[in-house]
Amino acid sequence: MDPNEVLFDDFCDDPIRRFQNTPRAVGMRSSAHPLVEEVDDFFNSENDDISFRRRRVDYYDISRRQSPRNDDCNSVAENDEGTNQDHYYNDLYSRQPQKWTSQKTPQRLTWNRLNATIFVGLSLFSAATTVPITLIPTMSLSLASVGNGEEWHYSPYYQILEVYDASGKIKRWIPFRIRTSGASNNNDQNISSSSLFASHLTSVVTLVTALGKFINGAIVDIAGARRLLLLYGMCTCLALLGLRYSTTPIQGIVSCAAVDFFSSINWSSGIIILCAHYGNGNERGGSFERGLYVMSLACRCGSLITIPLSSLLMKWTNVTWRGIAGLGACFALSGVLVFYFYLTDSPGKVHDPQNSIRMIPQSSGDNGVARHHPYHPPLRLWTTTQPSVCQRAIHFCSSVTRTILPSIHAVLISPVFWAVAVAHAGATMVKQSERILGTYFRDTSYGVVTESKASMMTMFMSLGMLAGLLVGGKGFVKAAESEQVLHTISSKSASSTHAAHSGTKNMIAFLYCFSICMCYMLSFFAMPSIRRALHLPVLVLILQVLATLGLGYGVAVQYYHIPAIVSATFGKNRGLYTAYTEGIAGLLSSIVWRIVGGAVEEGNPQGGGWAYGWAAVALLLVFCGTLMVTVVEIYFVGGGWQHETKETDEITQPVELSTKNLNSSWMDEEFLMDSSPLRKPGRLNTLSSSALQFIGNQARIQSSGKKLYLTSIDCHDKEDTTSCDLDTDLLGIDDDVSLLLLPSKGGPQHDVTHSFVSSIL
């Protein structure tokens, strides 16, 4: 960083709080007055946290013991405290200063205060953003009929209707006129127009979501995650109120697009906050993955609250879809209140942007006082000219550009970003399909699913994704916790690490193949000939529900976990990378859903239109799954968690080295290697082959019960000759549940702890 640059947020920060986290403040604490220590405690607001005060005292003792002016005190302390405490202090002092602030958040708990706050707040936000999805079937019929210019004709003569009161004794006569629709085949026309409206709404909303990712991706890094969550949460509330008072299809589409635009930053902001609290690289010990697991559950639980609640309210009460939209606005406002009172950007600050604006210092004025007369200017030059509002705006925009452009350039030139973004389009497309599932069930059920029930059918996608997170998400958490075990394994047992991570890659491939099969099942049951051959619309509906559950189950881990764990390798650009990855994926899925909408309209919604649409989704999922499995192979088999995150302190590092470390990822080097899987055209069948290996390994586990042998894959590093022997290096599990490496050259066997075994299986 340029020494003349000043961070934008430092103007609003207290000097004592900014000074207490610097290395100079730690060294001065030994000679500080007790009053300074009391003020320090007051600003930290941690008087009740005993563990935090203990850590501060330890750090104070370490700085005093390391000071050259306290050598005599050090010798006395060593004689009194013993050798064990010396090792304890040396271990604490060897850690980075950033670790001291992150230790205020409990690291080993899954449901600590931070994770619980994120879970509650994101659940409310997810419930609010799911409201337009549940209202699409009902809202499309209500707004599409208005948009078609439907006209009604009344009979010229009144007729009399005889009715009785509640007692059944008093008769009354009510005049009425018969109303008929002027449109021909009105019912079919409304169904076709509502289906087209739903597909167009999905396409437009997905495109706006992608644009929101591109626009807000850089803003979340320079403005702060907490600020944007609060601001955009209020905007989401206002957009839902606008949806409540929409009367035309255009107004409904604009309101739904605004809701998704303002909610496009929720996931990126959550990842940034988790990284700021839990740290990165080898020091996080699985805390980041546990927080990611909780955050992904929050998104699904919020959807599961809204979908059945809105359907039951519209069915059993007099609440219309406009009232449900108002209820979603209340959910968004509640989420804003939760984040306002309980969430912070980092352990030390309420607002702590990842990439603050670097303000360029201005000169004192246009008259050249500071430039020509720095010490004793003439009397006529004492009064300086203040910059105008336009000049301040230009100066601020130039500072923002100078901050954002290097980060955008670093992300866009990364091959990892483009590979993950294109591969992420498949899971994003399946996730966005929940907007049209209600219309799909209504069109293909022959009247079994009505408009009131269609909105509830989207719940099965959320249930499937929740089940996928509960099963696959825990596997990622266990693998992160076993990271310290992997570091203790010697180089000769590298094949065990490759075999373990190959199992993770095979699991992802199996989930992709399972999702592709479910897409073809939905396409198969949308064919009119198949539905007529079964003669039971209820049976077709049950099979479609099972296929929807399987589709959500198959893409849950790929959608939530894989892009997030790769984002940790981008340092301070993780927010920009996450937003742009989802933006590219949303843009590609928007184009696909626009094509699907045309296919549905061309093939008749109640005919074969939906069959063509789901077949197109399955084909794109094949391509995206193949690319994502290759990325997973590079990350896991390449030892992703064994690489340290390249994030350094800008105060202690040179500008060139700091910029390079913050803007690069170790996976870029892996992608450019000649042995990279992306440079092997013969491995295009890796999706099916990896899925078959996963099925074979699972069958072998169930059949053997005691022993399991996995063959290590080809090593991607040509210089590593200890783990490239395919014929001799085998990984086995002994009777005492320990891993055994069987070397061919007389090397020793290596045992691994039981926790590593559980992370593989």
- Kindly write down the DSSP assignment for every residue of 105-123, as one continuous string: S-SS-TT-HHHHHHHHHHH
pLDDT recorded at residue 529: 85
Whole-angstrom Cα distance, residue 387 to residue 365?
Answer: 7
Please give the structure tokens belonging to residue 704.
Answer: 């053997």
State the angle between helix axes of 574-602 and 266-278 in degrees (0 to 180), rounded to the nearest 10.
150
Q: Which of 408, 404, 422, 413 is nearest to 563 (CA)?
A: 422
Whole-angstrom Cα distance, residue 740 to residue 204?
Answer: 55
Q: Which of 405, 397, 364, 398 is nearest to 383 (CA)?
A: 364
pLDDT recorded at residue 644: 47
Is-above-0.75 flag for pTM? no
Question: For residues 473 and 482, is the Cβ–Cβ distance under 8 A?
Answer: no
Residues in the chain: 761
Counting as low any pLDDT under 70, the low residues of the chain are 1-109, 144-159, 161, 176-195, 279-286, 355, 357-387, 395-396, 452, 475-503, 601-607, 636-685, 697-761
Render pLDDT for 603-614 as a digit per residue (tens, 0 to 9).
565 667 788 888
Render pLDDT for 241-267 as a digit per residue (tens, 0 to 9).
999 998 888 888 899 999 999 998 898
Greatest Cα pair distance, the chain, in angstroms, is 111
Whole-angstrom Cα distance, residue 740 to residue 703?
Answer: 20
Question: For residues 362 and 395, is the Cβ–Cβ distance under 8 A?
Answer: yes
pLDDT recorded at residue 599: 72
pLDDT recorded at residue 33: 37
- The full 3-state SS of 48-84, as one line of letters, equals CCHHHHHHHHHHHHHHHHHCHHHHHHHHHHHHHHCHH
Neighbours of 478 (CB within 10 A): 17
CA-CA distances (angstroms) from residue 516 to 81, 433, 461, 490, 547? 64, 14, 15, 40, 10
Whole-angstrom Cα distance, residue 635 to residue 482?
Answer: 16
Whole-angstrom Cα distance, residue 600 to residue 615?
Answer: 12
Domains of the chain: 6-94 (no CATH), 113-145+183-353+415-486+508-642 (1.20.1250.20), 706-761 (no CATH)
User: What's the alpha-carbon Rg for the chain, to the nearest Å?
Assistant: 31
CA-CA distances (angstroms) from residue 566 to 294, 649, 687? 18, 21, 20
Which DSSP letter does residue 469 get? I
Q: Which of 236, 285, 292 is nearest to 264 (CA)?
A: 236
Main-chain dihedrals φ then ψ at residue 388, nearest 5 degrees = -75, 175
Dihedral angle over CA of 229, 231, 237, 239, nearest 10: -110
Whole-angstrom Cα distance, residue 285 to residue 287?
Answer: 6
pLDDT recorded at residue 730: 40
pLDDT recorded at residue 604: 62
* CA 15 from centre of chain: 34
